[in-house]
A and B are shown apart, each in its own frame.
Chain A
Amino acid sequence: MPSMPVGLSRDLPPKRVMRASVGGQDIVVWRASNGDIAAWDNRCPHRGMALSHGFVRGNALACLYHGWHYEQSGRCSYIPAHPDLDPPATIHTTRFGVTERDGVIWVDTSGTAKPGMLTESLDALRSLIAEASETAVVAACLRTPFEGTMPRPSDSSLYALGTIRLALLMNPLGPSRTQVTVLTSTGLSLQTRHALSRWCETLRRNAEASGTGDA
């Protein structure tokens, strides 16, 4: 399973938690107070609660159900029901590889995260989920014009829209569900970025309309 783009760094400030999915694996991605990012199996080993509902205290992620604290190593460091107990080392979360590059968060469930290489510097635009296959999204991209210009594929994940460059980073969530993280060339006006965001909506509409609707 290669590394997958799960969202934008901008959308995960310090002390925040988000949910992601890679290859069918439910994942919690969170950022400690010190800025360090971590990605774990989204399940507290106590009673199976989704850690993505949890809260960050200092550099630990606490589960919402019973407040069990897990430090960045994944090890349980505090159990509020037993404040004087030093939790045994056997209580820990399952960690995955995670890294950030070009403003994108990449997760790897089989080892160290290796982000897709981008040949140029790009700005993060947005990340969205389409109820369509990756193939349908790519096909829709090639027939969704932006201000009269049809996108041309240039490099892997990269498209040229006239003078604008666009990267569509795909994370397939299912046979008919894809997370698309969109980056653009730098130095674009706010107006253009707003227009590109709307282009993403049209792209999604076209991708979803083309599917058989069979989820």
Chain B
Amino acid sequence: MSLLYASNDWYPVADAACLARGPRKTRLLGTDLEVLGPFDDPVVTDMGGRRFPVQVRYDHLWTTIGDDPRPLFDIPEADEPGRRHVPCGVVRVKCSPLRAVENFLDIAHFPFVHTGILGAEPHTEVATYKAEIREDADEVWATNISFYQPQAAKSAAGGITTRYEYRVPAPTAAVLYKTCPPRPKAMDVIAIFVQPRSETDCDVWPWMALYDDTTGFADLAQFQQEIFLQDRSILENQRPVKLPLDPKLEIPTRADLTSIAYRRWLKRRGAYYGALTDQT
């Protein structure tokens, strides 16, 4: 049931860097796949040779194993001129794909998990912000978030108060819009695209579209990799492994509005792959 729903989304399975080194054997929703380059004319098959549809978007190769897939979400900022695109490679994590997304949406952990970068004591208070399910787009949005950050981005010269907006366009993808230090009127775009290998392990593809003309690619990618690897230690140590959608096991506070909305939205959609409910 949850697998059927999950199969009708598009998921990342490769980027140009990995296909340049050869075919990629991988796993999506429990199905073993092989991804063959070149990146501009790729082929995705299962072990029996059955082909799946592909599309290249946001510097990644996406595929779907469903018969009636929902369209891949749109991130219009990806096409804005002047933005540097930074695909950061893939990191494997033994966690539920939904836990990976929820962690990305959380800010109260910044002073403790990303100490000195995205947050620092004593600046731990999370002021009230707005989280909602936008019915027209059927997406979760969190807005009006602000947080003090010692090193908000590679391009930041010192500590600043950062503005954040989060958007969840699909159960296993999340997009962050945050203050862009070199261009105060614009927002940097940072996303994670999660490839669920199974309900309890996933490959995470972080990606960014930034306004930063001075920092080298390696520095930009490694800034994001450092932050994600700090989260990995948390993600592999949460129990239960699957994300509980019923509120009995885990206690949220007002700082968790986005997570509360995300869990409610998943339940409403029947997006149970990687989740724990009374039914799973």
Chain A residues packing against B (C-beta within 8 Å): 26, 42-43, 45-50, 53, 64-67, 79-83, 85, 90-91
Contacts and interface: CB of A to CB of B under 8 A. Distances in A.
B238 A48 contact: yes
Contacts of B111: 67, 80
B254 interface: yes
Contact of A49 (B121, B126, B234, B259): B234
B112 A47 contact: no
A85 B254 CA distance: 11
A91 to B, nearest CB: 6
A43 B125 contact: no
Interface stretch (B33-41, B86-94, B169-177, B245-253): B245-253
A43 B233 CA distance: 15
A65 B109 contact: yes
Contacts of B126: 81-82
B124 A67 contact: yes
Given A49-B238, A50-B237, A83 B112 contact: no
Majority secondary structure of chain A interface residues (helix, strand, loop or mixed): loop
A65 B249 CA distance: 17
B239 interface: yes
Interface in B245-278: 249-255, 259
Given A45-B251, A53-B233, A83 B124 contact: yes
Given A80-B108, A81-B125, A90 B251 contact: yes
B19 interface: no
Contact of A65 (B125, B234, B239, B251): B234
B277 to A, nearest CB: 15
A82 B128 CA distance: 10
B113 interface: yes
B253 A26 contact: no
Contacts of A48: 238-240, 244, 249-250
B255 A65 contact: no
A46 B112 contact: no
A67 B111 CA distance: 9
Most buried by A among B233, B237, B254, B255: B237
A47 B250 contact: yes
Nearest to B244: A48
Interface in B194-251: 233-234, 237-240, 244, 249-251
A82 B250 contact: no
A42 to B, nearest CB: 8
Closest 6 CB pairs of A and B: A80-B124, A81-B255, A81-B108, A50-B237, A81-B126, A48-B238
